[in-house]
Structure 1
Protein backbone atom coordinates (compact mmCIF):
# COMPACT_ATOMS: atom_id res chain seq x y z
CA UNK A 1 0.00 0.00 0.00
CA UNK A 2 1.13 3.54 -0.70
CA UNK A 3 -0.04 6.86 0.75
CA UNK A 4 -1.59 9.63 -1.35
CA UNK A 5 -2.86 13.11 -0.54
CA UNK A 6 -5.91 14.77 -2.07
CA UNK A 7 -6.11 18.47 -2.96
CA UNK A 8 -7.96 19.22 0.28
CA UNK A 9 -5.12 17.73 2.33
CA UNK A 10 -6.84 14.45 3.16
CA UNK A 11 -4.53 11.45 3.06
CA UNK A 12 -5.53 7.95 2.03
CA UNK A 13 -3.90 4.66 1.12
CA UNK A 14 -3.92 2.89 -2.22
CA UNK A 15 -2.95 -0.54 -3.45
CA UNK A 16 -0.54 -0.27 -6.38
CA UNK A 17 0.52 -3.09 -8.69
CA UNK A 18 3.33 -2.72 -11.24
CA UNK A 19 3.64 -4.48 -14.60
CA UNK A 20 6.69 -6.63 -15.31
CA UNK A 21 7.79 -4.46 -18.24
CA UNK A 22 7.44 -0.85 -19.37
CA UNK A 23 3.80 0.09 -18.68
CA UNK A 24 1.34 0.56 -21.54
CA UNK A 25 -0.60 3.02 -19.40
CA UNK A 26 -2.48 2.93 -16.11
CA UNK A 27 -5.78 1.66 -14.70
CA UNK A 28 -7.43 3.12 -11.60
CA UNK A 29 -9.65 0.51 -9.91
CA UNK A 30 -12.50 1.91 -7.83
CA UNK A 31 -13.78 -0.25 -4.99
CA UNK A 32 -17.30 -1.40 -4.23
CA UNK A 33 -18.97 -1.00 -0.83
CA UNK A 34 -16.81 -3.73 0.69
CA UNK A 35 -13.59 -1.70 0.53
CA UNK A 36 -10.22 -2.49 -1.02
CA UNK A 37 -10.70 -6.22 -0.52
CA UNK A 38 -8.55 -9.09 -1.72
CA UNK A 39 -10.86 -9.26 -4.74
CA UNK A 40 -10.18 -5.61 -5.65
CA UNK A 41 -6.46 -6.23 -5.20
CA UNK A 42 -6.72 -9.26 -7.49
CA UNK A 43 -8.38 -7.07 -10.12
CA UNK A 44 -5.49 -4.60 -9.85
CA UNK A 45 -2.96 -7.43 -10.08
CA UNK A 46 -4.70 -8.75 -13.20
CA UNK A 47 -4.47 -5.37 -14.92
CA UNK A 48 -0.80 -5.17 -13.96
CA UNK A 49 -0.28 -8.61 -15.50
CA UNK A 50 -1.75 -7.18 -18.73
CA UNK A 51 0.94 -4.48 -18.75
CA UNK A 52 -0.68 -1.55 -16.93
CA UNK A 53 0.21 0.22 -13.71
CA UNK A 54 -2.86 -0.53 -11.60
CA UNK A 55 -3.92 1.34 -8.49
CA UNK A 56 -6.92 0.96 -6.18
CA UNK A 57 -7.48 3.92 -3.82
CA UNK A 58 -9.01 3.24 -0.42
CA UNK A 59 -11.91 5.67 -0.73
CA UNK A 60 -13.24 4.79 2.73
CA UNK A 61 -10.12 6.10 4.49
CA UNK A 62 -11.71 9.49 5.14
CA UNK A 63 -14.19 7.73 7.44
CA UNK A 64 -12.50 4.48 8.42
CA UNK A 65 -9.03 3.43 7.19
CA UNK A 66 -8.22 -0.07 6.04
CA UNK A 67 -11.77 -1.27 5.38
CA UNK A 68 -11.94 -4.84 4.04
CA UNK A 69 -15.43 -6.24 4.62
CA UNK A 70 -16.87 -9.69 4.10
CA UNK A 71 -19.03 -10.14 1.02
CA UNK A 72 -22.25 -10.74 2.94
CA UNK A 73 -25.29 -8.72 3.99
CA UNK A 74 -23.58 -7.49 7.16
CA UNK A 75 -20.55 -6.30 5.19
CA UNK A 76 -22.79 -4.68 2.60
CA UNK A 77 -24.73 -2.79 5.28
CA UNK A 78 -21.55 -1.58 7.00
CA UNK A 79 -20.06 -0.49 3.69
CA UNK A 80 -23.24 1.34 2.69
CA UNK A 81 -23.17 3.21 6.01
CA UNK A 82 -19.60 4.35 5.30
CA UNK A 83 -20.54 5.41 1.77
CA UNK A 84 -23.28 7.60 3.18
CA UNK A 85 -20.68 9.56 5.16
CA UNK A 86 -18.52 10.36 2.14
CA UNK A 87 -19.50 13.29 -0.06
CA UNK A 88 -19.18 12.65 -3.77
CA UNK A 89 -16.84 15.61 -4.21
CA UNK A 90 -14.52 14.10 -1.59
CA UNK A 91 -14.40 10.79 -3.45
CA UNK A 92 -13.79 12.61 -6.73
CA UNK A 93 -10.94 14.55 -5.12
CA UNK A 94 -9.35 11.27 -4.03
CA UNK A 95 -9.81 9.81 -7.52
CA UNK A 96 -8.15 12.86 -9.06
CA UNK A 97 -5.16 12.44 -6.74
CA UNK A 98 -4.98 8.77 -7.72
CA UNK A 99 -5.05 9.55 -11.44
CA UNK A 100 -2.33 12.16 -10.93
CA UNK A 101 -0.20 9.58 -9.11
CA UNK A 102 -0.07 7.23 -12.12
CA UNK A 103 -0.31 9.55 -15.12
CA UNK A 104 3.46 9.31 -15.68
CA UNK A 105 2.80 5.72 -16.83
CA UNK A 106 0.80 6.96 -19.82
CA UNK A 107 -2.92 7.37 -20.48
CA UNK A 108 -5.23 6.42 -17.62
CA UNK A 109 -8.42 4.36 -17.57
CA UNK A 110 -10.83 4.24 -14.63
CA UNK A 111 -12.72 1.02 -13.83
CA UNK A 112 -15.28 0.97 -11.02
CA UNK A 113 -17.52 -1.64 -9.42
CA UNK A 114 -20.99 -0.97 -7.94
CA UNK A 115 -20.45 2.17 -5.79
CA UNK A 116 -17.17 2.57 -7.63
CA UNK A 117 -19.03 2.14 -10.92
CA UNK A 118 -21.17 5.16 -10.13
CA UNK A 119 -18.05 7.11 -9.14
CA UNK A 120 -16.30 6.09 -12.36
CA UNK A 121 -19.21 7.44 -14.39
CA UNK A 122 -19.08 10.73 -12.48
CA UNK A 123 -15.29 10.87 -12.77
CA UNK A 124 -15.57 10.80 -16.56
CA UNK A 125 -16.78 14.42 -16.44
CA UNK A 126 -15.16 15.61 -13.21
CA UNK A 127 -11.62 14.21 -13.17
CA UNK A 128 -8.85 15.49 -15.41
CA UNK A 129 -6.47 13.20 -17.24
CA UNK A 130 -8.76 10.22 -17.92
CA UNK A 131 -8.67 8.48 -21.31
CA UNK A 132 -11.73 6.28 -20.79
CA UNK A 133 -14.09 4.93 -18.14
CA UNK A 134 -15.67 1.54 -17.46
CA UNK A 135 -18.40 1.02 -14.86
CA UNK A 136 -19.93 -2.17 -13.49
CA UNK A 137 -23.34 -2.35 -11.76
CA UNK A 138 -23.69 1.39 -11.17
CA UNK A 139 -27.22 1.67 -9.81
CA UNK A 140 -27.20 5.48 -9.57
CA UNK A 141 -25.61 5.91 -12.98
CA UNK A 142 -28.84 5.61 -14.95
CA UNK A 143 -30.26 8.64 -13.13
CA UNK A 144 -27.23 10.73 -14.13
CA UNK A 145 -28.12 11.04 -17.80
CA UNK A 146 -28.19 14.78 -18.44
CA UNK A 147 -24.53 15.50 -19.22
CA UNK A 148 -22.73 14.35 -22.34
CA UNK A 149 -19.72 12.20 -21.57
CA UNK A 150 -16.36 13.87 -22.01
CA UNK A 151 -14.47 10.58 -22.42
CA UNK A 152 -15.48 7.22 -23.95
CA UNK A 153 -17.60 5.33 -21.44
CA UNK A 154 -18.45 1.63 -21.29
CA UNK A 155 -21.00 0.27 -18.81
CA UNK A 156 -21.92 -3.25 -17.71
CA UNK A 157 -25.29 -3.99 -16.08
CA UNK A 158 -26.84 -7.24 -14.89
CA UNK A 159 -30.41 -8.10 -15.89
CA UNK A 160 -31.26 -9.72 -12.57
CA UNK A 161 -30.74 -6.71 -10.30
CA UNK A 162 -34.03 -5.90 -8.51
CA UNK A 163 -32.67 -2.42 -7.70
CA UNK A 164 -32.12 -1.60 -11.37
CA UNK A 165 -34.77 -2.76 -13.84
CA UNK A 166 -33.55 -3.42 -17.37
CA UNK A 167 -36.15 -0.92 -18.60
CA UNK A 168 -34.30 1.81 -16.73
CA UNK A 169 -31.07 0.91 -18.54
CA UNK A 170 -32.92 0.90 -21.87
CA UNK A 171 -34.21 4.39 -21.16
CA UNK A 172 -30.72 5.49 -20.13
CA UNK A 173 -29.40 4.32 -23.48
CA UNK A 174 -31.97 6.51 -25.24
CA UNK A 175 -30.83 9.52 -23.22
CA UNK A 176 -27.12 8.83 -23.61
CA UNK A 177 -26.29 7.50 -27.08
CA UNK A 178 -22.66 8.49 -26.48
CA UNK A 179 -22.32 5.67 -23.92
CA UNK A 180 -21.89 1.96 -24.70
CA UNK A 181 -24.00 0.00 -22.20
CA UNK A 182 -24.35 -3.78 -22.05
CA UNK A 183 -26.73 -5.91 -20.03
CA UNK A 184 -26.10 -9.55 -19.15
CA UNK A 185 -28.92 -12.09 -18.74
CA UNK A 186 -29.15 -14.46 -15.79
CA UNK A 187 -26.77 -12.30 -13.76
CA UNK A 188 -27.16 -10.23 -10.62
CA UNK A 189 -25.16 -7.48 -8.97
CA UNK A 190 -21.58 -8.50 -8.35
CA UNK A 191 -21.51 -10.98 -11.24
CA UNK A 192 -17.83 -10.19 -11.79
CA UNK A 193 -16.71 -10.71 -8.20
CA UNK A 194 -15.12 -14.08 -7.50
CA UNK A 195 -15.79 -13.81 -3.77
CA UNK A 196 -19.57 -13.44 -4.07
CA UNK A 197 -22.18 -16.09 -4.63
CA UNK A 198 -23.48 -14.02 -7.53
CA UNK A 199 -20.32 -14.58 -9.55
CA UNK A 200 -20.84 -15.94 -13.06
CA UNK A 201 -17.59 -16.83 -14.76
CA UNK A 202 -19.00 -16.82 -18.30
CA UNK A 203 -20.63 -13.43 -17.92
CA UNK A 204 -17.64 -11.99 -16.08
CA UNK A 205 -15.32 -13.23 -18.84
CA UNK A 206 -17.41 -11.56 -21.55
CA UNK A 207 -17.53 -8.27 -19.66
CA UNK A 208 -13.79 -8.43 -19.00
CA UNK A 209 -13.09 -9.08 -22.68
CA UNK A 210 -15.00 -5.94 -23.58
CA UNK A 211 -13.33 -3.98 -20.80
CA UNK A 212 -9.82 -4.95 -21.87
CA UNK A 213 -10.53 -4.17 -25.50
CA UNK A 214 -11.95 -0.78 -24.50
CA UNK A 215 -8.85 0.02 -22.46
CA UNK A 216 -6.52 -1.13 -25.23
CA UNK A 217 -8.31 1.19 -27.69
CA UNK A 218 -8.18 4.32 -25.57
CA UNK A 219 -5.17 3.86 -23.31
CA UNK A 220 -2.88 2.38 -25.93
CA UNK A 221 -4.68 3.65 -29.03
CA UNK A 222 -5.95 6.90 -30.45
CA UNK A 223 -7.80 9.74 -28.78
CA UNK A 224 -11.62 9.51 -28.99
CA UNK A 225 -13.49 11.25 -31.77
CA UNK A 226 -15.56 14.14 -30.50
CA UNK A 227 -18.88 14.50 -32.28
CA UNK A 228 -20.90 17.69 -32.16
CA UNK A 229 -23.71 17.47 -29.59
CA UNK A 230 -22.73 13.92 -28.67
CA UNK A 231 -19.76 14.18 -26.33
CA UNK A 232 -16.96 11.62 -26.59
CA UNK A 233 -18.73 9.04 -28.69
CA UNK A 234 -17.87 5.40 -28.17
CA UNK A 235 -16.03 4.61 -31.39
CA UNK A 236 -14.20 1.51 -30.21
CA UNK A 237 -15.52 -1.93 -31.05
CA UNK A 238 -15.92 -3.84 -27.82
CA UNK A 239 -15.57 -7.24 -29.41
CA UNK A 240 -13.98 -8.56 -32.57
CA UNK A 241 -16.76 -11.00 -33.41
CA UNK A 242 -20.43 -10.33 -33.88
CA UNK A 243 -22.33 -10.49 -30.63
CA UNK A 244 -23.92 -13.79 -29.76
CA UNK A 245 -27.55 -14.23 -28.94
CA UNK A 246 -28.15 -13.93 -25.24
CA UNK A 247 -26.45 -10.67 -24.34
CA UNK A 248 -27.74 -7.24 -25.09
CA UNK A 249 -25.69 -4.32 -26.36
CA UNK A 250 -27.55 -1.23 -25.25
CA UNK A 251 -24.93 1.11 -26.61
CA UNK A 252 -24.38 2.77 -29.99
CA UNK A 253 -24.57 0.47 -33.01
CA UNK A 254 -21.47 -1.67 -33.39
CA UNK A 255 -20.11 -3.72 -36.26
Structure 2
Protein backbone atom coordinates (compact mmCIF):
# COMPACT_ATOMS: atom_id res chain seq x y z
CA UNK A 1 0.00 0.00 0.00
CA UNK A 2 2.79 2.45 0.84
CA UNK A 3 5.63 3.99 -1.13
CA UNK A 4 8.72 6.03 -0.33
CA UNK A 5 8.72 9.58 -1.66
CA UNK A 6 10.93 12.65 -1.31
CA UNK A 7 9.99 16.01 0.16
CA UNK A 8 11.87 19.26 -0.34
CA UNK A 9 11.42 21.76 2.47
CA UNK A 10 11.46 25.54 2.12
CA UNK A 11 15.10 25.67 3.23
CA UNK A 12 16.11 23.35 0.38
CA UNK A 13 16.62 20.25 2.53
CA UNK A 14 15.36 17.02 0.96
CA UNK A 15 14.05 14.23 3.17
CA UNK A 16 12.24 10.98 2.58
CA UNK A 17 8.66 10.26 3.57
CA UNK A 18 6.33 7.29 3.63
CA UNK A 19 3.14 7.72 1.64
CA UNK A 20 0.09 5.47 1.95
CA UNK A 21 -2.75 5.94 -0.52
CA UNK A 22 -6.31 4.80 0.00
CA UNK A 23 -7.90 2.35 -2.42
CA UNK A 24 -10.44 4.84 -3.74
CA UNK A 25 -10.88 8.57 -3.83
CA UNK A 26 -9.32 10.09 -0.68
CA UNK A 27 -11.52 11.56 2.02
CA UNK A 28 -8.68 14.01 2.64
CA UNK A 29 -5.02 14.09 3.61
CA UNK A 30 -3.24 13.30 6.86
CA UNK A 31 0.30 14.04 8.00
CA UNK A 32 1.63 11.47 10.47
CA UNK A 33 4.41 12.75 12.75
CA UNK A 34 6.87 10.14 13.98
CA UNK A 35 7.95 9.26 17.49
CA UNK A 36 11.64 9.51 18.36
CA UNK A 37 12.16 6.15 16.67
CA UNK A 38 11.99 7.38 13.08
CA UNK A 39 9.57 6.38 10.34
CA UNK A 40 9.79 2.75 11.39
CA UNK A 41 7.48 -0.18 10.82
CA UNK A 42 5.03 1.10 13.44
CA UNK A 43 4.71 4.57 11.89
CA UNK A 44 4.30 3.04 8.44
CA UNK A 45 1.59 0.84 9.90
CA UNK A 46 -0.18 3.89 11.30
CA UNK A 47 -0.12 5.44 7.81
CA UNK A 48 -1.47 2.23 6.29
CA UNK A 49 -4.28 2.11 8.86
CA UNK A 50 -5.39 5.65 8.09
CA UNK A 51 -5.17 4.93 4.36
CA UNK A 52 -7.56 2.04 4.93
CA UNK A 53 -9.93 4.61 6.40
CA UNK A 54 -9.71 6.70 3.24
CA UNK A 55 -6.94 9.21 3.93
CA UNK A 56 -3.82 9.96 1.94
CA UNK A 57 -1.30 9.58 4.78
CA UNK A 58 2.25 10.95 4.64
CA UNK A 59 4.91 10.50 7.34
CA UNK A 60 7.93 12.81 6.87
CA UNK A 61 11.24 11.36 8.08
CA UNK A 62 12.31 14.29 10.26
CA UNK A 63 15.56 12.59 11.28
CA UNK A 64 16.76 12.54 7.66
CA UNK A 65 17.99 16.07 8.34
CA UNK A 66 20.71 14.67 10.58
CA UNK A 67 20.86 10.94 9.76
CA UNK A 68 19.03 9.43 6.80
CA UNK A 69 17.14 6.18 7.06
CA UNK A 70 16.72 6.00 10.84
CA UNK A 71 14.48 3.13 12.00
CA UNK A 72 14.82 2.37 15.69
CA UNK A 73 13.26 -0.19 17.98
CA UNK A 74 12.17 0.31 21.57
CA UNK A 75 15.07 -0.95 23.67
CA UNK A 76 16.97 1.42 26.03
CA UNK A 77 19.73 1.99 23.46
CA UNK A 78 17.11 2.88 20.84
CA UNK A 79 15.47 5.35 23.21
CA UNK A 80 18.81 7.01 23.94
CA UNK A 81 19.61 7.24 20.23
CA UNK A 82 16.18 8.64 19.43
CA UNK A 83 16.49 11.32 22.09
CA UNK A 84 19.91 12.27 20.77
CA UNK A 85 18.57 12.68 17.24
CA UNK A 86 15.49 14.56 18.41
CA UNK A 87 17.67 17.17 20.07
CA UNK A 88 19.39 17.81 16.74
CA UNK A 89 16.16 18.51 14.87
CA UNK A 90 14.45 21.72 15.95
CA UNK A 91 10.69 22.11 15.98
CA UNK A 92 11.14 24.89 13.41
CA UNK A 93 12.83 22.51 10.98
CA UNK A 94 10.30 19.75 11.63
CA UNK A 95 7.55 22.23 10.75
CA UNK A 96 9.29 22.98 7.46
CA UNK A 97 9.08 19.26 6.70
CA UNK A 98 5.43 19.17 7.75
CA UNK A 99 4.73 22.06 5.37
CA UNK A 100 6.43 20.14 2.55
CA UNK A 101 4.24 17.11 3.29
CA UNK A 102 1.19 19.34 3.48
CA UNK A 103 1.79 20.58 -0.06
CA UNK A 104 1.40 17.00 -1.31
CA UNK A 105 -1.31 15.84 1.09
CA UNK A 106 -3.51 18.79 0.14
CA UNK A 107 -3.97 17.22 -3.29
CA UNK A 108 -6.45 14.95 -1.48
CA UNK A 109 -8.50 17.85 -0.07
CA UNK A 110 -8.49 19.08 3.51
CA UNK A 111 -5.54 17.90 5.61
CA UNK A 112 -5.24 16.89 9.24
CA UNK A 113 -2.15 16.11 11.30
CA UNK A 114 -1.60 13.40 13.90
CA UNK A 115 1.55 12.89 15.92
CA UNK A 116 2.87 10.55 18.59
CA UNK A 117 5.35 11.25 21.41
CA UNK A 118 7.73 13.90 20.01
CA UNK A 119 5.53 13.93 16.92
CA UNK A 120 2.63 14.90 19.16
CA UNK A 121 4.57 17.99 20.17
CA UNK A 122 5.26 18.74 16.50
CA UNK A 123 1.56 18.33 15.70
CA UNK A 124 0.61 20.76 18.48
CA UNK A 125 3.12 23.30 17.22
CA UNK A 126 1.83 22.89 13.67
CA UNK A 127 -1.73 23.52 14.85
CA UNK A 128 -0.70 26.94 16.11
CA UNK A 129 1.81 27.98 13.48
CA UNK A 130 1.10 26.48 10.06
CA UNK A 131 -1.51 27.53 7.54
CA UNK A 132 -3.46 24.97 5.54
CA UNK A 133 -4.29 22.38 8.20
CA UNK A 134 -7.86 21.58 9.20
CA UNK A 135 -7.43 19.46 12.36
CA UNK A 136 -4.71 18.30 14.75
CA UNK A 137 -4.54 15.18 16.91
CA UNK A 138 -1.45 15.01 19.15
CA UNK A 139 -0.86 11.89 21.22
CA UNK A 140 1.15 12.21 24.46
CA UNK A 141 3.47 14.97 23.28
CA UNK A 142 5.92 15.69 26.08
CA UNK A 143 6.54 19.26 24.94
CA UNK A 144 2.91 20.34 24.75
CA UNK A 145 2.65 21.55 28.35
CA UNK A 146 5.55 23.91 27.69
CA UNK A 147 3.58 25.34 24.76
CA UNK A 148 0.20 25.30 26.48
CA UNK A 149 -0.14 29.05 26.05
CA UNK A 150 0.16 28.73 22.25
CA UNK A 151 -3.42 28.52 21.05
CA UNK A 152 -4.10 26.11 18.19
CA UNK A 153 -5.68 27.83 15.22
CA UNK A 154 -7.56 24.72 14.15
CA UNK A 155 -9.75 22.13 15.91
CA UNK A 156 -7.47 20.05 18.12
CA UNK A 157 -7.95 16.82 20.07
CA UNK A 158 -5.22 15.56 22.40
CA UNK A 159 -4.74 12.08 23.87
CA UNK A 160 -2.74 11.37 27.06
CA UNK A 161 -2.10 8.36 29.27
CA UNK A 162 -2.98 8.74 32.95
CA UNK A 163 -0.04 6.50 33.89
CA UNK A 164 2.50 8.34 31.72
CA UNK A 165 5.66 8.80 33.78
CA UNK A 166 6.95 11.54 31.47
CA UNK A 167 3.76 13.64 31.28
CA UNK A 168 2.07 14.27 34.60
CA UNK A 169 -1.64 14.74 35.05
CA UNK A 170 -0.77 18.19 36.39
CA UNK A 171 0.67 18.99 32.96
CA UNK A 172 -2.45 17.66 31.29
CA UNK A 173 -4.62 19.84 33.52
CA UNK A 174 -2.41 22.81 32.67
CA UNK A 175 -3.16 22.23 29.00
CA UNK A 176 -6.88 21.89 29.69
CA UNK A 177 -6.94 25.09 31.69
CA UNK A 178 -4.92 27.09 29.15
CA UNK A 179 -6.85 25.86 26.10
CA UNK A 180 -10.46 25.06 27.03
CA UNK A 181 -11.41 24.74 23.35
CA UNK A 182 -9.05 21.78 22.91
CA UNK A 183 -10.62 18.37 23.44
CA UNK A 184 -8.43 16.43 25.87
CA UNK A 185 -8.92 12.71 26.46
CA UNK A 186 -7.05 10.65 29.03
CA UNK A 187 -6.72 6.88 29.24
CA UNK A 188 -5.82 4.36 31.93
CA UNK A 189 -2.51 3.71 30.17
CA UNK A 190 1.10 4.83 30.02
CA UNK A 191 3.26 6.65 27.50
CA UNK A 192 3.22 5.14 24.02
CA UNK A 193 -0.04 3.28 24.59
CA UNK A 194 -0.87 3.45 20.88
CA UNK A 195 2.21 1.51 19.74
CA UNK A 196 1.67 -2.26 19.55
CA UNK A 197 5.45 -2.80 19.54
CA UNK A 198 6.01 -1.24 22.95
CA UNK A 199 5.57 -2.79 26.37
CA UNK A 200 3.26 0.11 27.26
CA UNK A 201 0.83 -0.77 24.47
CA UNK A 202 -2.76 -0.79 25.68
CA UNK A 203 -5.16 -2.06 23.05
CA UNK A 204 -8.43 -0.85 24.61
CA UNK A 205 -7.00 2.66 24.98
CA UNK A 206 -5.46 2.61 21.50
CA UNK A 207 -8.71 1.44 19.92
CA UNK A 208 -10.78 4.05 21.75
CA UNK A 209 -8.35 6.84 20.86
CA UNK A 210 -8.37 5.76 17.22
CA UNK A 211 -12.16 5.71 17.05
CA UNK A 212 -12.31 9.20 18.55
CA UNK A 213 -9.61 10.40 16.17
CA UNK A 214 -11.42 9.02 13.13
CA UNK A 215 -14.66 10.66 14.20
CA UNK A 216 -12.78 13.94 14.66
CA UNK A 217 -11.22 13.63 11.19
CA UNK A 218 -14.57 12.83 9.63
CA UNK A 219 -15.94 16.02 11.17
CA UNK A 220 -13.10 18.37 10.23
CA UNK A 221 -11.27 16.82 7.27
CA UNK A 222 -13.70 14.57 5.46
What's the TM-score bracket when you normalise by the shorter of the two chains?
A: over 0.9
Gaps of 5+ in 2: none
- Cross-structure match for 1:69: 72
Structure 1: 4+ residue segments shifted above 2 A: none
Measure, in 1, the Cα distance between the counterparts of 2:150 and 2:200: 32
Choose from 32, 36, 41 the match for 1:33.
Answer: 36
- 1:148 positional shift: 2.1
Q: Give the Cα separation in 2 of the matches to 1:9 and 1:199.
A: 37
Instruction: State the partner residue of 2:26.
Output: 23
Match of 2:219 in 1: 217
5 Å-filtered alignment, 1:228-247, equals: none
- The counterpart of 1:202, out of the listed 182, 201, 204, is 204
1:12 aligns with 2:54: no
Deviation at 1:171, TM superposition (A): 2.3
Shift of residue 126 of structure 1? 1.5
RMSD of aligned residue pairs (Cα, Å): 0.8
For the residue of structure 2 that corresponds to 1:194, the secondary structure is coil
- Secondary structure class of the residue paired with 1:79: helix
Shift of 1:162: 1.7
Give SS of 1:55's match: strand
Provide the TM-score with structure 2 as the length reference: 0.97
Name the CA distance, whole Å, in 1 between partners of 2:72 and 2:25: 34
Match of 2:117 in 1: 114
Deviation at 1:88, TM superposition (A): 1.4
Distance in 2 separating the partners of 1:28 and 1:91: 12
Alignment of 1:45-124 (within 5 A): 45-124=48-127
Partner of 1:225: none
Aligned residue pairs, count:
219
1:147 is displaced (CA, Å) by 2.5
Q: For residues 61 and 18 of structure 1, what CA distance do their matches in structure 2 show? A: 22
Aligned match of 2:160: 157
Q: Is the 8 A contact 2:25 2:54 kept in 1?
A: yes
Give the distance between the partners of 1:116 and 1:88, measured in 2 at CA: 10
Whether the 8 Å contact between 1:149 and 1:178 is mirrored in structure 2 is no
Indicate if the aligned counterparts of 1:148 and 1:178 stay in contact, CA closer than 8 A.
no
Cα deviation digits, residues 41-65 of structure 1 (max 9, x gap): 0000011111111111100000001
Comparing both structures, which one devotes a greater share of its residues to helix?
Answer: 2
Q: Which has the larger radius of gyration?
A: 1
Q: For residue 146 of structure 1, report the CA deviation from its aligned partner.
A: 1.5
3-state SS of the aligned residue for 1:128? coil
Contact 2:148–2:174 (CA under 8 A) maintained in structure 1: no
For the residue of structure 1 that corresponds to 2:89, the secondary structure is coil
* Residue of structure 2 equivalent to 1:125: 128
